[in-house]
Amino acid sequence: MRAVVVYESMYGNTHLVADAIGEGLGALGEVTVVSAHRADRELLAAADVVVVGGPTHAHGMTHASTRRAAADAAGKPDSDLDLDPDAEGPGLREWFADIGQVDGSAAAFDTRMPGPPALTGRASKGIARKLRQHGATLVAEPESFLVTKDNHIEAEEGQRAVAWGEKLAAAVAKITAQAE
C-alpha cells in the first residue's frame, strides 16, 4: 500500500510532525512525505491514503497574507525563527484549488498553540472539510499537534505523531481487509 503525507510548514514544526506521521504510517508500505507545492495529482492518484496537515493561522488554514506575515517575522534581525525550505511555496488553500478529486482514505492534522481550540483555532477542521469536498473518506478525526509560544514543537508531540500515524495505518489496513 501507498501513503502520502502532504504538509504546509512555515517554521518547520508541521514538517517535523508530517515526517513523524509518515514514520508511523510505515507499516502500510511505501510512504511519501511531501510539501503541498510538490504534491501533484499523479502522486495522489497512486496513494491508498492521503494525510494532509498545516499550521493554524488566524484560527484556520493559512492565507497568503498570514504566510507573508510569518515569513516577515522570520526575516526580522532579532528573530530566532527559521523558515522551512518549502515555506514560500503555495499553501494548502491553493493546493486544494488545484488537485481535483482525492479518492480513497484520508486524514487531517494541524499544528497550533496550546489552549482550547475555540481560542487557538484548528486548521485541521478546515483541512478535513476540504478533503471531504474533494471526495476523500476520513479514517480518523482531525488531529492537532502543539507548538510552544516560541514556535517549537512540544517535546512529546513527535512521539504522539508517530503513534497517530500507526493508528491511521491500522485503520486503513482494516478498511482494505474489509473491502477484499
180 pLDDT higher than 80:
no
7 pLDDT higher than 80:
yes
> Which range among 9-13, 82-86, 173-177 shows the weakest confidence by mean pLDDT?
173-177
What proportion of the chain, given as a percentage, has pLDDT over 90? 89
Provide the pLDDT for residue 55: 98
C-alpha span between 79 and 128 (Å, rounded): 32
The set of residues, in sequence order, having a beta carbon less than 8 Å from that of 97 and lying 6+ positions away, is: none
Residue 158 lies in a domain: yes
Residue 77 lies in a domain: no
Binning pLDDT at 50, 70 and 90, where does residue 28 land?
A: confident
Residue 167 lies in a domain: yes
Residue 89 lies in a domain: yes
115 pLDDT higher than 90:
yes
Q: For the whole model, what pTM was predicted?
A: 0.96
The number of folded domains in the chain is 1
What proportion of the chain, given as a percentage, has pLDDT over 70? 100
**Pairing relation of β-strands 30-35 and 49-55?**
unpaired
C-alpha span between 146 and 11 (Å, rounded): 13
Q: For all residues of the chain together, what is the average pLDDT?
A: 95
Residue 161 lies in a domain: yes
Residue 56 lies in a domain: yes
Domain assignment of residue 38, given as a range = 2-72+82-179
Provide the pLDDT for residue 76: 93
Residue 38 lies in a domain: yes
Residue 38's CATH number = 3.40.50.360
Residue 154 lies in a domain: yes
Provide the pLDDT for residue 78: 92
